Amino acid sequence: MKQMLECIKQNALEQLASLSGEASELEALKVRYLGKKGELTAVLRGMGKLTPEERPVIGQMANEVREIIEAAIEEKAAELKEKARAAKLAAERLDVTMPADMKELGHRHPLAQVERDLCDIFLSMGFDVVEGPEVEYDYYNFQALNIPENHPARDTQDTFYITENILLRSQTSPVQVRTMEQQRPPIRIVSPGRVYRSDAVDATHSPVFHQLEGLVVDKGITMGDLKGMLETFAKNMFGSSTKLRFRPHHFPFTEPSAEVDVSCFVCGGEGCRLCKGEGWIEILGAGMVHPNVLKGCNIDPDEYSGFAFGLGIERIAMIKYGIDDMRLLYENDMRFLSQF
């Protein structure tokens, strides 16, 4: 029986050493020698035929053989596991010097791009960008801008009222009033943002659109300062050869007031489809801040003066990119947006 145990140990160790690396082979070998019907178990079942003196000796030897085989199996299992891991890492090895597949990234919406370009131009001229609430008080949207109740200018704006005194702002001018209330001159700001008017949707109108308005208040500000600033803006936005034309107009919150046109940057003023043959394109309204507006914000109009201007961001985008239908800017058609 001693010889049988020694033979079992020797065979088991030799077979473990020659395993090819499959975990299933290791499990089969374990069952063959240590399982319920394994060779070592079969030897132990024959211990009943031994004398009382032989049983402890053979039992001890059998336990030692079992421990040796189990330890060898565990060692082999760890070895096979490490080999499998190394093989997997080798198979999955990446060449980090290989160029990666370039992913297509999103980009700014044309309206967002134009708004950023506008803000960048005015920031370069020393303006601050200020924002305000879209849900506004009637006071800031109208009264503080020299548009009292029953003023005819209110009829032209078709405002969305929430309550009698609260509305969706119809312009970003309320930001100018809020700024003048909180800050003493000198003031130089632009206020971009979304505004609301009850307009029917068509190629040039929308109930939701975007404006950028500007305000400068300081001592000695004149219409000449307004003209010079707008010329700098226009040349940066539309090209160095751009010219401006001022036409008299009326706004309740500025006096004097003007509509401002730029020379068509497509035809150079000769007339084309974009400018409808006129050679000029209207882009904004502007003027000197009305004294009543300054007084309402506790700014002495005898000491300070200022100018204000406002433009539609959609209109600038349509002019810049040659878009003839405003609705294209809101329909989220990737065929259209991917062009920008």
Residue 300's region, left for phi above 0, alpha for psi from -120 to 50, else beta, is beta
Bridge partner residues of 216 (DSSP): 188, 307
Model confidence pLDDT, tens digit, residues 29-63: 777 777 777 676 767 666 666 677 777 777 777 77
| Amino acid identity, position 37 | K
What pLDDT, on a 0 to 100 scale, did the predictor assign at position 157? 61
d(CA 295, CA 306): 12
Residue 215: closest CA among 182, 167, 264:
182
Q: E strands of the chain, at which residues?
A: 128-129, 135-137, 160-161, 166-168, 187-196, 208-218, 244-251, 254-263, 280-289, 305-312
Q: Which two tokens stand for residue 176?
A: 């100018």
The number of angstroms, rounded, from the C-alpha of 228 to the middle of its chain's C-alpha atoms is: 35
Residue 75: closest CA among 151, 17, 161:
17
Between 217 and 87, the more confident residue is 217
Instruction: Report percent pLDDT > 70 for the chain.
Output: 91
Between 56 and 336, the more confident residue is 336
The domain over range 110-337 is classified in CATH as 3.30.565.10: no
Model confidence pLDDT, tens digit, residues 208-254: 999 999 999 999 999 999 999 999 999 999 888 888 999 999 999 99
Residue 234: closest CA among 259, 256, 263:
263
Between 256 and 56, the more confident residue is 256
What pLDDT, on a 0 to 100 scale, did the predictor assign at position 127? 96
Global pTM reads: 0.67
d(CA 290, CA 307): 9
d(CA 124, CA 198): 35
d(CA 233, CA 228): 9
Handedness of CA 78, 80, 81, 87 (dihedral sign): positive
Between 52 and 111, the more confident residue is 111
Mapped onto helix, strand or coil, the DSSP state of residue 224 is helix
Quick check: 336 pLDDT over 80? Answer: yes
Quick check: 313 pLDDT over 80? Answer: yes
d(CA 340, CA 322): 12
